Amino acid sequence: MTAASERPLITIEPTTKWWHLDIQELWANRELLKVLCERDIKVRYKQTVLGFAWALLQPLMMMIVFSVFFGHFAKIPSDGLPYPIFVYAGLLPWTFFSTAVTNSSQSLVNSSHVISKVYFPRLIVPFAVVGASLVDFFIASCFLFVMMFYYGITLSGQLLLTPLFIACITVSALGVGTFLSSLTVTYRDFRFVVPFLVQCWMFATPIAFPISIVPEQWRWLVSLNPMTGLIGGFRSCFLGQPFDWPSVLIAFAASIGFFVVGVFYFKSVERRFADIV
Amino acid sequence: MGDWAIQCDNLKKRYTLGERDIGSRNFREAITGAFAAPFRRFRQLSGDNHARNDFWALKGVDFEVKEGEVFGLVGRNGAGKSTLLKILARITAPTEGRVRMRGRAASLLEVGTGFHPELSGRENIYLNGSILGMTRAEISRKFDEIVDFAGVEKFLDTPVKRYSSGMYVRLAFAVAAHLEPEILLVDEVLAVGDQEFQKKCIARMKSLAGGSATIVFVSHSMSAIQALCNRCLLLEQGRSVEIGPTIDIISKYAAQVTSQQSFERDVVVGDKPSVQRADISTLPPRDGDEKENWRIRVTLNVVSPKKMNVAIGLKIKDALGSPVGFASCGHLGPDEMIALAPENSRITLEMPIQSLAVGDYTVSIRMSIPSVVVLEELEDCLAVTIERGAREGAIRALPQSWGYGCIELPLKYLERGSCDRILAGGHFALIEEDSSQRRTA
């Protein structure tokens, strides 16, 4: 038994200030984050025949559908690249972002039974879901290399910037996910709003089409969407196109903004969760 | 000992009640509410009684728990025990006041929190252990011990959804039992599981307490409180009535419980039905009825969010707190379930008491959807003194205080006979009347 003075002193008070983000406590619970992440991954593909192949199949099937309808029938240009690889390089990060956001927005409500029985930093719940989606994303990424080899696209030095874009997409997903998850606890309306929101966001982002088909005078508006810079940047890393720096910089700033707003909103309402979930 | 481990200052907790609680409020209402807010604020400031929808679960509780102490929280349903424990466990925040705790705290409000049915026993041990605050290394170190304790070696790689409910609870408890916190907060976990399981729980808590951990323990079982606690806090309607040695508090609590013929509380209409009011009374036989038709009648007001069928059961305990019997509509026969109307239902239940010994009893109410979910469990929420006439042919009814137990069973003899004493052995023999009476040597 440690002496009294060595023990941690916990003070429980009516309100914690919204800027009071206990990073030490989060760090102390990193193992729980990992365990919850593992749980999500394991449970998702339990009792499926194809198992982890689904992580790959989802963007793959989307890619086929998009290639047939948009690439083949609608003849949407793809900046001189083969349409399938063009769209796959966009769908891949987008699928990660959208599943991470959709699932994490539901995460608190789905784990209400745990939240109302045990204390741990609640941020871990949506974070773990984003982590699990990240693993799916890495699995699906392998296929991108296969496609690059097939279409004979050489790896460029830009590939080294990929981790930066993945990090930014993750940070955005964490921010948007935590924000929506805390809103969903109070307003269950968001259960219906989020899928719709994600759908709209997808069409507002140049995934299935290049930004070059957007009329010149509206391009700045599309660039304001942070996902434009992130998805475009990710695609450029692999396919060797030039970066659109203004939109990339907007995206970097926005992803940090999302994160800060999401996490601090979450912290400010966190303590009410157990009462209303 | 001597140093404090937990200090509570003027702890208050408010819940807001209403037609719908804040959780199920939808977005439109929030927006209209936001526009109406200035007006509401105006009304508040002008002294309008805005507090009528507020419900104070705790109205200012102070206490201090010493290091190494086992501290019991005692009180009737709705007294605020669970709310207090939830605040200590940091699950919910207090509205006012402050708590200070020294030490690594773990809470055990139920066993098996976070168990996932699809995952194997092994995976669930790690999952549940981590949620309860153990590190991975700690779990790995204790893994064999946990498995041994639960007795599930053979099924470690089977998903827990295939476990029997006994195995499930054993595994869940085994993980919880291997927590080694400095402060442990325990709710009515002892209420689940069989006798043996409960013994294990108590034994484990005793050994923890022996190892100088501080324990805060909530229970309705006075025998468990007595077995474990050094000191107790008696709560009543959100206020602390008394803090003192366990024996004193238990007798205070017992006096409280045996005076309660009706039970009422504010309920939050959530997504499940709850009992808002309950009354109990003993009724004599109706005119023209058989003389032996004494009954107790329980009337319940149940508030339900929607139409649904539930089973309602009554658990009867004697004056010493031992269960005597259980009566239910629907727990044993699904056809007997009670249909609840949306919003308010008034339910009247009657039970013959001809076989119950005269004396004091407490009644617990249990409402559930059998083998799906327990909706409500109100321990000892009603008390009744059973008085009844003697059965036919008797001059008085059996009193509980005689210590023969609580049930007066009807005993019939099949043929007329007489008893006779045999020698000095003290044996009796039944001798048929029509056979010649003879003494056996």
Question: Is some CB atom of chain B closer than 8 A to the CB atom of A30?
Answer: no
Higher-confidence residue: B31 or A118?
A118
| Contacts B66 to A, Cβ<8 Å | none
A121 in a domain, yes or no?
Answer: yes
Query: Residue B278 forms beta bridges with which residues?
Result: B263, B300
How confident is the model at residue B7, as a pLDDT?
92
List the end-to-end C-alpha distance of chain A, in Å, as a whole number.
37
If DSSP codes are grouped into helix, strand and coil, which group holds residue A79? coil
Average pLDDT over every residue of A175-190: 92
Question: Is some CB atom of chain B closer than 8 A to the CB atom of A17?
Answer: no
How confident is the model at residue B201, as a pLDDT?
75
The token pair that represents B273 in the structure block: 């039905």
Q: What percent of chain A has pLDDT over 90?
A: 57
Question: For residue B398, what are the CA distances in angstroms to B225, B292, B319, B357, B389?
Answer: 30, 14, 15, 5, 10
Average pLDDT over every residue of B124-148: 93
**Span B369-412, pLDDT tens digits:** 888 888 888 888 888 888 787 877 777 888 887 878 888 888 88
Burial of B34 (0-12, 13-18, 19+ CB in 10 A): exposed
Question: Is some CB atom of chain A closer than 8 A to the CB atom of B197?
Answer: no
Kindly give, in sequence order, each residue whose CB lies less than 8 Å from that of residue A269, ignoring residues fewer than 6 positions away.
Answer: A182, A185, A186
Nearest to A117 among B94, B110, B136 (CB): B110
Residues 64-123 of A with CB under 8 A from B: 111, 113-120
Largest CA distance in chain B: 100
Please give the single-letter amino acid code of residue A69. F
**CB within 8 Å: A185 and B23:** yes
Question: Is some CB atom of chain B closer than 8 A to the CB atom of A63?
Answer: no
Which is nearest to B94 in space by CA: B200, B8, B2, B195?
A: B8
Question: For residue B77, what are the CA distances in angstroms to A34, A225, B155, B382?
Answer: 39, 54, 39, 10
| Contacts A187 to B, Cβ<8 Å | 25-27, 30
Q: What are phi and psi of A2, to 5 degrees?
A: -80, 155
Average pLDDT over every residue of A252-270: 92
Average pLDDT, chain A: 89
The whole-angstrom separation of Cα A181 and Cα A158 is 35
Give the minimum alpha-carbon distance from A187 to chain B in angstroms, rounded to a whole number: 5
Question: Is some CB atom of chain B closer than 8 A to the CB atom of A32?
Answer: yes
How confident is the model at residue B8, as a pLDDT?
92
Higher-confidence residue: B387 or A250?
A250
DSSP state at residue A152: T
**Span A103-154, pLDDT tens digits:** 999 999 999 989 988 999 999 999 999 999 999 999 999 999 999 999 988 8
What SS3 string covers B235-304? EECCEEEEEEEHHHHHHHHHHHHCCCCEEECCCCCCCCCEEEEEEEEEECCCCCCCCCCCEEEEEEEEEE
How confident is the model at residue B397, as a pLDDT?
83
**CB within 8 Å: B90 and A7:** no
The whole-angstrom separation of Cα B220 and Cα B241 is 17
Average pLDDT, chain B: 81
Chain A residue whose CA is closest to B111: A117
How confident is the model at residue A95, as a pLDDT?
94
Is the confidence at residue A38, as pLDDT, over 60?
yes
Which segment of B27-31, B361-365, B380-384 scores lowest on mean pLDDT? B27-31
**CB within 8 Å: A42 and B94:** no
Is the confidence at residue B441, as pLDDT, over 50?
no
Which segment of A271-275, B37-41, B120-124, B370-374 scores lowest on mean pLDDT? B37-41
List the end-to-end C-alpha distance of chain B, in Å, as a whole number.
70
If DSSP codes are grouped into helix, strand and coil, which group holds residue A33? helix
Please give the single-letter amino acid code of residue B295. R
Which segment of A88-92, A250-254, B42-46, B364-368 scores lowest on mean pLDDT? B42-46
Which segment of B34-38, B56-60, B202-206 scores lowest on mean pLDDT? B34-38
Question: Is some CB atom of chain A closer than 8 A to the CB atom of B182?
Answer: yes
Q: What percent of chain B has pLDDT over 70?
A: 81
Answer yes or no: are the C-beta atoms of A133 and A96 closer than 8 Å: yes
- DSSP-derived pairing of the beta strands B417-422 and B427-432: antiparallel
How confident is the model at residue A166, as a pLDDT?
96
Is the confidence at residue A24, as pLDDT, over 90?
no
The beta strands (E) that lie in chain A are given as 9-12
How confident is the model at residue B250, as a pLDDT?
83
Query: Residue B11 forms beta bridges with which residues?
Result: B61
How confident is the model at residue B22, as a pLDDT?
45
**Span A51-79, pLDDT tens digits:** 888 888 989 999 999 999 998 898 888 88
**CB within 8 Å: A11 and B100:** yes
The whole-angstrom separation of Cα B111 and Cα A6 is 30
| Contacts B86 to A, Cβ<8 Å | 274
The whole-angstrom separation of Cα A147 and Cα A64 is 13
| Contacts B126 to A, Cβ<8 Å | 35
- The second-level CATH assignment, the architecture, of B4-257 is 3-Layer(aba) Sandwich (3.40)
> How many Cα atoms are found within 13 Å in the side-chain-facing hemisphere of B180?
9
Kindly give, in sequence order, each residue whose CB lies less than 8 Å from that of residue A124, ignoring residues fewer than 6 positions away.
Answer: A26, A29, A32, A33, A36
Higher-confidence residue: A262 or B439?
A262
- DSSP-derived pairing of the beta strands B373-386 and B359-369: antiparallel
Burial of B358 (0-12, 13-18, 19+ CB in 10 A): buried
**CB within 8 Å: A1 and B182:** yes
Average pLDDT over every residue of B66-70: 90
The token pair that represents A183 in the structure block: 């809103």
Domain count, chain A: 1
- Where b means 16+ CB within 10 Å and e means fewer, B310-328 reads bbbbbbbbbbebeebeebb
The token pair that represents B83 in the structure block: 């709310």
Residue A261 belongs to domain spanning: 22-205+218-267
Q: Where are the domains of chain B?
A: 4-257, 262-402
Nearest to A186 among B23, B98, B110 (CB): B23
How confident is the model at residue A22, as a pLDDT?
76
Give the CATH fold of the B262-402 domain: Coagulation Factor XIII; Chain A, domain 1 (2.70.50)
Residues 189-218 of A with CB under 8 A from B: 189-190
Question: Is some CB atom of chain A closer than 8 A to the CB atom of B64?
Answer: no
Question: Is some CB atom of chain A closer than 8 A to the CB atom of B96?
Answer: yes
The whole-angstrom separation of Cα B317 and Cα B168 is 28
The whole-angstrom separation of Cα A140 and Cα B368 is 46
In the sheet with B54-66, reading across from the earlier edge strand, the strands are A9-12, B96-102, B4-16, B54-66
CA quadruple A171, A172, A177, A182: dihedral sign:
positive
| Contacts A4 to B, Cβ<8 Å | 3, 67, 102
A6 in a domain, yes or no?
Answer: no
Q: Could you tell me the pLDDT band of residue B331, with boundaries at 50, 70 and 90? A: confident
The token pair that represents B306 in the structure block: 């929607």
How confident is the model at residue B21, as a pLDDT?
42
Burial of B185 (0-12, 13-18, 19+ CB in 10 A): buried
| Contacts B22 to A, Cβ<8 Å | 186, 275-276
Question: Is some CB atom of chain A closer than 8 A to the CB atom of B205?
Answer: no
Average pLDDT over every residue of B197-211: 79
Answer yes or no: are the C-beta atoms of B87 and A12 closer than 8 Å: yes
Answer yes or no: are the C-beta atoms of B133 and B178 closer than 8 Å: no
A14 in a domain, yes or no?
Answer: no
In the sheet with B274-283, reading across from the earlier edge strand, the strands are B262-264, B274-283, B295-304, B343-352
| Contacts A35 to B, Cβ<8 Å | 126-127, 130-131, 136
**CB within 8 Å: B102 and A271:** no
**Span B265-301, pLDDT tens digits:** 777 667 788 898 898 888 878 776 776 788 889 999 9
Average pLDDT over every residue of B122-139: 92
How confident is the model at residue B418, as a pLDDT?
59
Give the minimum alpha-carbon distance from A247 to chain B in angstroms, rounded to a whole number: 33
Kindly give, in sequence order, each residue whose CB lies less than 8 Å from that of residue B71, ignoring residues fewer than 6 positions away.
Answer: B6, B63, B65, B214, B215, B216, B217, B229, B230, B231, B232, B233
| Contacts B132 to A, Cβ<8 Å | 118
Nearest to A39 among B127, B159, B182 (CB): B127
Q: What percent of chain B has pLDDT over 90?
A: 26
If DSSP codes are grouped into helix, strand and coil, which group holds residue A9? strand
**CB within 8 Å: B88 and A118:** no
Answer yes or no: are the C-beta atoms of A224 and A250 closer than 8 Å: yes
Whether the complex's predicted ipTM is more than 0.90 is answered with no
What SS3 string covers chain B? CCCEEEEEEEEEEEEECCCCCHHHCCHHHHHHHHHHHHHHHHHHHCCCCHHHHEEEEEEEEEEEEECCCEEEEEECCCCCHHHHHHHHCCCCCCCEEEEEEECCEEEECCCCCCCCCCCEHHHHHHHHHHHCCCCHHHHHHHHHHHHHHHCCHHHCCCEHHHCCHHHHHHHHHHHHHCCCCCEEEECCHHHCCCHHHHHHHHHHHHHHHHCCCEEEEECCCHHHHHHHCCEEEEEECCEEEEEEEHHHHHHHHHHHHCCCCEEECCCCCCCCCEEEEEEEEEECCCCCCCCCCCEEEEEEEEEECCCEEEEEEEEEEECCCCEEEEEEECCCCHHHCEEECCEEEEEEEEEECCCECEEEEEEEEEEEECCCEEEEEEEEEEEEEECCCCCCCCCCCCEHHHCCCCECCCCCCCCCEEEEEECCCCEEEEEECCCCCCCCC
**Span A200-244, pLDDT tens digits:** 999 999 999 998 888 888 888 888 899 999 999 999 999 988 888
How confident is the model at residue B34, as a pLDDT?
65
Residues in chain A: 277
How confident is the model at residue B393, as a pLDDT?
77
How confident is the model at residue A226, as a pLDDT?
92
The whole-angstrom separation of Cα B134 and Cα B127 is 10
